[in-house]
Chains A and B, each alone.
Chain A
Amino acid sequence: MAIPFDSDNFPIGKAPIAMLILFVISSILLVISIEKKDESLEFWIYANTHYDEYQARLPLFNQLYPEVNVHLVNFGGTMHDKLLTALLSNFGAPDIVEVEINSIGRFLKGAIDEIGFIDLRPLLESKGRIDDLFPNRFTPWSYSGKIYGIPHDLHPVVLLYRDDLFKAVGVDLTKVNTWDEFIISAKKATRDTDGDGNIDQYAIVLDNKTESDYFNFLLQRGGGFFDENGNVIIDSELAIETLTFYNSLFNEHKIATPVYGTWHGHPSNFAAMQDDKILSILAPDWYVGILKSQVPQMAGKWKAIPMPAWEDGGRRTTTRGGTMIGITKQCKNPDLAWELIEFTYFNREGLANRFETTMIIPPIKSAFDVPVFHEPEEYLGGQKIGELFIDLVPDIPPRYQNPYWSEASDLLNDAIFKVVTENEHPRKALTELATTVRKIISKDHTRWGTE
């Protein structure tokens, strides 16, 4: 009996058969690889420092849960775009994901019931964790009464300064309590050191192209772009007055220099610091960590004080940056996902390890007695920086999240640049900005019929 299938006589030859077989095999493999096992967790992150931390600690989690296969993926800055696509297409999203504070807004847009994250409040309550976290720190990750993320951090801000260079002009910054006092001291420290008529040494470095430092001041005063109920408040007297003050640091008192490069972590900015061109900077805990790892040769030159207050006895800190961890609605096993969150976000050893590598203070009250937070930091000349941060924690202002933050911050960047470098009046800039953002929001609500 002849073989029913003869490849030589296959109507269009051998090659197509080979291609067909390869196509079938690869399709099957593709389907198998997409099919997820229940006992696996896909975990997406965007920050390299977090990747190192979790990568080192995942083997310990595997000892506790040998049957669980955690797939940790670091996509870097493009992670948020990939997550957006996966949530929009309802396919391919991770079980657990870390999201950055300036990026979360876009994920909260539109109908509440279509948001891609699960509300973590019930889990936090049933696991008894909700009271262990600072309530103000839920505000960046909450919207319409639901909590979509657990905070990774608190990011209190201090004023990091060059003790040696301020002392050289007879200023002891530890005695400075308010911004008015800071300005007086800063004028002494801002100098033309080589006598060529140009200022070489500025008392403080601030960002004139993005909202970052202006927002530090605004939050410190209890302001913001949006209030608790989502109303635009960037044209409030408080916001206008703060921008007027911010502008005066550059253009009236002339004690501030615009950031070197694109942001405070740019190599040019670090170079300027090493050349003694920058005498102080508003630094969240993570920034101290970056400085320590990127500019180790400056060890011993920096010291920290709480941010000067707006008035005597006023708030001495603000908050800058942040990350949350959330569980997506595509997660098949939220309880298992929670176990991994417990392990990465609440474990005392993990939090101590995180502080040692990144200087980040955790938002967990019960972890504040971990010894590492109370040890002297050599980079800051033996100052107990962890304790300083912890002391400031109760004063950290809320930062209310809003689905329109991406648009709002983009336009706020433009407004700040126009005020600081193109002489636009703060009132005009912020009033126009608020009008534009209100229009965008109201247009959407009209379209959706939610107003």
Chain B
Amino acid sequence: MPNNQKSTQIILQARNLTYERNDNELFCDLNFSLRAGEMLQVKGANGSGKTSLLRLLCQLSLPEEGTFFWYGEELKHVIHQYLREVIYIGHNQGVKNELTVRENLNIFNALSEQPTKTPISQVIEIFGLAEHEDSILHRLSAGQKRRVALARLLLHEKKLWILDEPQTALDRIGLSLLENLYQQHIHQGGMIIIATHQPINAVGINIKSLLIGESDPQAAVCE
């Protein structure tokens, strides 16, 4: 339910995260925390591990060491509640190119346990896809495909948004739409974790920064 109070409880916390890939340590002893109404921007050079960190947050990969905490409990004990409140839009967008816009959104609706926050037709309207509602995604442009992927954000009520470079291929209108979405979500007490090195142009949002890579004084140098 929309929560307009600014709570000081730490909802998501990561402690001592260490992740390695192909015998390369990407980051060591990473710590961060997130409260309601906060946005975390993960910055770093290409290949520094931004996407890996996001995938760790989605439990698609497992860290070498370290734990996540959700509402103070270890993540592996509350994994089901956690996954219900998380939406992940990753590098490959998670929409089927061979289905139409409406069919894609219907599938996402059926796969989730929650009822829709906004009716599907309204979501399609908001994202400016009304005339392409029944076109197969193959025939749409990259920007329009990205909008379909982002349309999932409005479908269900989710506390934590994890987005990996969401603004790629979006035009000016799309970008402003996205920034409106951020503001709406943050003001309702949600949390966003976003991996991008482009500046986020959002008014009135508290953006925390997390830098991954060798230039980061925070991330310990791994032996």
Binding between chains A and B: no
